[in-house]
A = this chain, B = another copy of it.
Amino acid sequence: MKIGDLAKAAHTQVETIRYYEREELLAQTARTEGNYRVYGPEHVERLSFIRHCRRLDMTLDEIRALLKFKDSPPKDCSVINNLVDEHIKHVAVRIKELKSLQKQLVDLRNSCAGGGAVDECGVLSGLSRASLAEPATDTPYDGHVHGTHKVSGKRKSP
């Protein structure tokens, strides 16, 4: 099968597959005479594995580690379990953060009086006031958990 077929089989984009090859998550494959990549079912399995991990929001580095264990399994599975446990923690932290965030946003939104003018709205002033008051929770942000917004190849303001 060619790269397009693999892409369909594993519900991935062609460019992503080539990207994974560059990143050495997928090994380089045989090529046809016309220099096309050739894949078999084993590649579908491996790529699906990767995509599934990504859907679970693991980093490529975490997936790299898992793949290494897949390729040459260690004596006991605690390493793998630790990796997954760590990841569960990261997700838990992020959920907590987002919930607190959500509360702040709703509070902010409720500070709007109604349909009136901006002066009475309270949202902007809420943002200003809070900002001056708070000690700004100087989180070192060591957890590898990030924001709310999807990075999706958009332009800047035009």
- The chain A residues found within 8 Å of chain B, CB to CB, are 10-11, 44-45, 48-49, 51-53, 55-57, 59, 61, 64, 66, 69-70, 73-78, 80-81, 84-85, 87-88, 90-92, 94-95, 98-99, 101-102, 104-106, 108-109, 112, 115-121, 123-124, 127-128, 130-132, 134-138, 141-152, 156-157
Contact = CB atoms under 8 A, between A and B. Distances in A.
A140 to B, nearest CB: 10
A77 B146 contact: no
A109 to B, nearest CB: 5
A150 B90 CA distance: 10
Given A52-B134, A88-B105, 5 more contacts: A61-B156, A73-B124, A75-B117, A81-B123, A84-B105
Contact of A136 (B11, B91, B146): B11
B121 A56 contact: no
Contacts of A61: 156-157
A150 B157 contact: no
A55 to B, nearest CB: 7
A10 B128 CA distance: 12
B52 A124 contact: no
A157 B25 CA distance: 12
Contact of A124 (B66, B146, B152): B66
Contact of A123 (B51, B80, B128): B80
B119 A78 contact: no
Looking at A45, A106, A124, the one whose CB has the most chain B CB atoms below 10 A away is A124
